[in-house]
Structures are given as structure tokens and as C-alpha cells.
Amino acid sequence: MTVQIEENPVRTIVVGGGLAGLAAATYLARGGQRVTVLEKSHTLGGRASTDSPRGFALNRGVHALYSGGPASSVLAELGVRYSSGSPNHVLALDSRGLNPFPGSVGDLLRTNLLNAADKRELLGVFLRLSLIKPERLAHQSVAEWVAAIARRPMVRRLLASTARTYLYTTALDVASADAFVARLQQTMKHPIHYVDGGWQSLVDLLRSVAEAAGAQILTSAGVNTLQVENGRARGVRLHDGRRLSATSIVVAATPEDALRLLPADAAPRLQAAVAEALPVHVACLDVALSRLPAPRQPIVFDLERPRFLTVQSEFARLAPSGGAVLHAFLQHDPRQPVDARWAQSELEAFVDQVQPGWQSVAVERRFLPHMLAAGCLPLAASNGLQGRIGHRSQDVSNVFFAGDWVGPHGYLVDATLASARESARQVLRAGTDQRSALRAA
């Protein structure tokens, strides 16, 4: 029997117009799919959006692009070419004050933070790092790994402060070491990028490549629910009552949003996975300054409290001439409640210490008490990065996920873009398999 195949019969709906949704849509459109992106907000970008008060570019919380990983590879593949600067002159704060942060061999030799024995041990850690296979550490916590690789208290404190900052959490007793060690290896080989114009530049560039590939992008188009029948999604219902049919759906939103979209009885496995996950939240203080009080102190790791600060405008185009953009953030333990007022005072006190007088030159300041930095913390108890949820729904066969809580590769936006690429591939493969089956029938 010959089955007539329509030339362009399939439509994939992508729910969410953040970086994951835009990247997935581009891959899908380039793969020949008819794609519609539905974004509930009136603008694109989600957590990667940048606001521009008075000519400053303020990301929503500190945003550093770790180059050399899956995010770089996806952006390059999609033809997203951005300009950026890389941070240097990094300091560490402890009770003795500010000292060079020993993140490179040069700074290691220069810093007064460590004595000779500490320096020898840290150098040994640097040398051993490149030989480690991160995936072998999936069942070890960061705290266990740090205790195993370093004996000297000061070296352990440095590694713990770096881990808190890279993983955006203080829960080092449960976070898996694979994510941290992979990130350390990445930053030892590849620079960190502070993106000119903020991450909105990435959003805008991704939008252009998605549209150039043929993706349709709708904003103010919130999806109320996925319509599921007999284990397959038939389409979506929007908040305004419209219904759109689809052959596949990519949910490129946070885990909580994904749960809201899938009816409770249709997605028991997703519910169980999300219930077990630890989402990673941070408190952020974003500040625009008419001038920077202490230009020689642009980036500071706090060794004693879970805080980090960076003046990204010293390295990237983010502020009008003479002005500065500063981001500070406080890491939490996702298992503990956080008092927002306390978090704000912790961050303000930190900025007082590093950039004294900032309050009198602040032209814009924004405190964001509870920002979702990553949808799920990789845990030693559940196989680290490998233990994150898979790309294809186990509940609804033609639903796929993308975001920083999905798939085994990378952390933060590395996971976001790696999962967007892989989910798009799986949608395309599923479509090809379906068409082959129809042709053979």
C-alpha cells in the first residue's frame, strides 16, 4: 500500500522562547521541520534577557559564558557570532583583605593568600586536574572530592569557594563532583566571555538565525496545557483559548513550567523526577554606577561567605562611557529557606567592602532574591550529570525537553544549549522513523 506523504505535514511546537527554545527551533527548521515557537512573555530571552535602563545593559544576575563547551559549539554551529571580553585581575577576600585569586600559575606565585606549602599543594591540584575524567566522579560529592584532593585548609577553602561560584550553590555535600571538575577543566583551557551588550545579544542573534531558517516565533503566546491523548500530545491550548496541533512538542521551559503544562495524570514520571530534583536559586544584586569607586577590584571571590562579585563592564561593552555595571550574587543551599532581607544585606555589605561608596554613585539597582540559575543541581546520589532527566519524555512519546535541567552534558547554559541541540535531533529522528514506517506500510 502506498501512503501519500504530505510535503510539509509536520509542525513542531516549541514552548518557550529562551535560549533553549530559540536554539532548538533553529535546528528543527534547518532540519526541514515547520516550527512554531510560543513564548508567553511579550519579549524573548527568558532568564537570558538583558534590561537597558539609562543606556546600561543589565543582565538578570551575573551571566558569564564559559567558552569551549557545548554552548560555544552550538552557537558556532548556528552562526551566532557575538563579541565579548574576558575577565582578569581576579581577587579573593578573606579576613586579611583582598589578595590575587590564584586561578593561574602567575597569580598563584604572586598571591599572599597562600604560604609556600599551600602553593605547592594547589600547583599539584592544577597538574592533576587535566588527567581526571570528570564522569568518574559522578557519584562523589564536591565536598568529598575537595577533601580527597587537598589536605591544606586554605587550599580546600579556595576550591570550595570556586565550586560554590561555578555551581551557584553552597550544597557541596550533595552536588556531584563531575560538574565542578568539568567546569574547572573548561576554564583552565578556555576563557570566560562577558558578552558585549549582555546576553540579550545572544537572544537577538539566535532569534535572527531561527527566523532566517524559517521558524515562526510568536510572543505573548502563553501555552496553558499540552493536549495529551493515549500517551501522545496532539497539540497545545493557549491561554487565549486557541488550539494548535503538532506532531511533536519541545518544552523549553523550567521544570516547574513543564509540570504545569503536562496534565498531572499524563506525566507521572516527570512529576517524580521534578520532585526529587534540587533547583538552584541565587540572590542577585545588579547595579549600574555612574563611576566605579575601586577600578582595581573588579572581580572578587569571597572565601568566607558564599558571595561573588564582578564588574563586567570593565571587560565588556555594558555601560555608557565612565559608567559601570556590577553584579553580585549570594549562593544558597536549596534545602534551606532563605530570608530575602538578610540576603540583600549580605550582598550590600559585600559591595560596600569591595566598592566603598557605590551607593552614592548608583544610578540603578535591582535586587532579585530568588533567581533560578539552574533547574536542577547534579547530585552525587543520582549519578551526577548523567542522572538529569532525559531529552524525550518517558510519559508522552512525542514530547521532548530542553533546558539546564535536561541531558547529561554541561552545566547552566552549556546544558541548555546541548539539550536544545539533542532534543531537536531526536525530534527529527523520530519524524524520519515515522515517515519510513509509513512508506514501508
Task: List contacts with ligand FAD (CB under 6 A).
Answer: 15-21, 38-41, 46-48, 60-64, 66, 222-223, 252-254, 257, 261, 282, 284, 371-373, 403-404, 412-413, 416
Pairing of strands 243-245, 232-238: antiparallel
Minimum separation from the CB atom of position 179 to ligand FAD (A):
12
Cross-sheet strand order for the sheet of 223-229: 223-229, 232-238, 243-245
For ligand FAD, give the closer residue by CB, 169 or 382: 169
Say how far apart CA 316 and CA 4 lie, in whole Å: 55
Q: How far is CA 303 from CA 91, 157, 260, in A?
A: 10, 6, 39
Minimum separation from the CB atom of position 309 to ligand FAD (A):
13
363: left (phi over 0), alpha (psi -120 to 50) or beta: alpha
3 state DSSP class of 155: helix
Minimum separation from the CB atom of position 145 to ligand FAD (A):
21
For ligand FAD, give the closer residue by CB, 39 or 178: 39
Axis-axis angle for helices 19-30, 200-213 (nearest 10):
20
User: Exposed e or buried b for every residue in 355-373, given b needs 16+ CB within 10 A?
Assistant: beebeebebbbebbbebbb
For ligand FAD, give the closer residue by CB, 118 or 286: 286
Minimum separation from the CB atom of position 189 to ligand FAD (A):
16
Say how far apart CA 10 and CA 164 lie, in whole Å: 44
Minimum separation from the CB atom of position 118 to ligand FAD (A):
28
Minimum separation from the CB atom of position 414 to ligand FAD (A):
6
Q: Could you identify the residue written with the cell 521544570?
A: 255
For ligand FAD, give the closer residue by CB, 122 or 195: 195
For ligand FAD, give the closer residue by CB, 358 or 405: 405
Minimum separation from the CB atom of position 21 to ligand FAD (A):
6
Closest CA to 289 of 59, 56, 63, 88: 56
For ligand FAD, give the closer residue by CB, 289 or 415: 415
User: Exposed e or buried b for every residue in 413-430, given b needs 16+ CB within 10 A?
Assistant: bbbbbbbbbbbbbbbbeb
Minimum separation from the CB atom of position 322 to ligand FAD (A):
26
3 state DSSP class of 103: coil
Closest CA to 303 of 55, 111, 125, 53: 111
For ligand FAD, give the closer residue by CB, 67 or 247: 67
For ligand FAD, give the closer residue by CB, 47 or 119: 47
Q: Max Cα separation, the chain?
A: 81
